[in-house]
Amino acid sequence: MSPAIWFCGDPHGQFTHIVRAVQLRQPNAIVLLGDIEASQPLERELASILDLTEVWWIHGNHDTDSEASYDNLFGSELADRNLHGRVATVAGVRIAGLGGVFRGGVWAPPLDPTWPSASEYLARCGKGNRWRGGLPLRQRSTIFPDELETLAVASADVLVTHEAPGWHPHGWPALDELAASLGVALHVHGHQHDSLPYSSLMPQSVPYRPVGVGLRGITALDGTVIRPGELDEQRNSRFGGSDADY
């Protein structure tokens, strides 16, 4: 029997549905798929379930919209549960994470990048553009090429990203390449607020299964929909909208 790992679509500041579901069924772990937008430190938002399940996360583009959203996530007591740019063993499953979004001013694959790495961007952006001595706040949710390249040499069972794969109308083939390099069987994403029927959009020869988790939806590792996304029916009827508020 596979472990009960749940993937939680973009909460956008609302956590009651996650708390109630975990209290009822107590999965081994949950993974938040970005656009968390916690209004207080994440450990406080989820305080009532921290002894019931492991909490892991990646960030989304809206998690750098404000200093509060950033600090309540990256400065929380759950900061070490950030999966971005690494592979962690979660309830016995190797999960690779890539948070953030592609932004054309830095890199829009397959085009060549303007900035291959955050360090190169930082060296050229000018001191007046820095935030807390580092990258500008908005760019802290930008995917830089070297982050993807570093992750691609690892191996994992599952890939979680905020952005969608190339099979999505608003997705990125670079993530299909990443999933193939990692050798995953499952690629789970958020961001687009939908859960498209990927099996009808891609050839059966693809060796991994992509799964989109809709707005505030919850989907389990085995594919069970714990909670449908709030816009699933509306979005899927026209094969997607986009939350790509860049």
Q: What's the CATH code of the domain at 23?
A: 3.60.21
- Locus of tokens 């406080």: 44
pLDDT tier for residue 79 given thresholds of 50, 70 and 90: very high
Instruction: Check whether 236 has a pLDDT greater than 60.
Output: no
pLDDT tier for residue 212 given thresholds of 50, 70 and 90: very high
Q: How far apart are CA 19 and CA 82, in angstroms?
A: 19
- Low-confidence winner among 117-126, 180-189, 214-223 (lowest mean pLDDT): 117-126
Instruction: Check whether 246 has a pLDDT greater than 60.
Output: no
pLDDT score recorded for residue 232: 85
pLDDT score recorded for residue 235: 59
Closest CA relative to residue 83, chosen from 94, 75, 72 = 94
Q: Mean pLDDT, to the nearest integer, of 213-221?
A: 98
Kindly state whether residue 245 falls inside one of the protein's structural domains: no
Kindly state whether residue 246 falls inside one of the protein's structural domains: no
Kindly state whether residue 48 falls inside one of the protein's structural domains: yes
Structural domain including 57 reads: 5-236
Total of domains in the chain: 1
Q: Mean pLDDT, to the nearest integer, of 64-88?
A: 98
Classified as helix, coil or strand, 67 is helix
Kindly state whether residue 29 falls inside one of the protein's structural domains: yes
Residue 94's Cβ-count burial label (10 Å; 0-12, 13-18, 19+) is: middle
Kindly state whether residue 244 falls inside one of the protein's structural domains: no
Backbone angles phi and psi of 189, in degrees to 5: -140, 165
Report pTM: 0.94
Kindly state whether residue 178 falls inside one of the protein's structural domains: yes
Report the percent of the chain where pLDDT is more than 70.
94
User: What are 67's two structure tokens?
Assistant: 């200093």
Instruction: Check whether 105 has a pLDDT greater than 50.
Output: yes
Closest CA relative to residue 100, chosen from 164, 37, 143, 66 = 143
Transcribe 168-197 into DSSP letters.
Answer: STT-BHHHHHHHHHHT-SEEEE-SSS----
pLDDT score recorded for residue 102: 98
Kindly state whether residue 212 falls inside one of the protein's structural domains: yes
- In contact, 21 and 226? CB cutoff 8 Å: yes
Q: Please report, as a single letter, which amino acid is at residue 245.
A: D
- Low-confidence winner among 53-62, 95-104, 225-234 (lowest mean pLDDT): 225-234
Instruction: Check whether 243 has a pLDDT greater than 70.
Output: no
Q: Mean pLDDT, to the nearest integer, of 17-40?
A: 98
Kindly state whether residue 186 falls inside one of the protein's structural domains: yes
- Low-confidence winner among 91-105, 148-162, 230-244 (lowest mean pLDDT): 230-244
Instruction: Check whether 143 has a pLDDT greater than 70.
Output: yes
| Consecutive H or E run containing 97 | strand 93-98
Classified as helix, coil or strand, 88 is strand
pLDDT tier for residue 244 given thresholds of 50, 70 and 90: very low
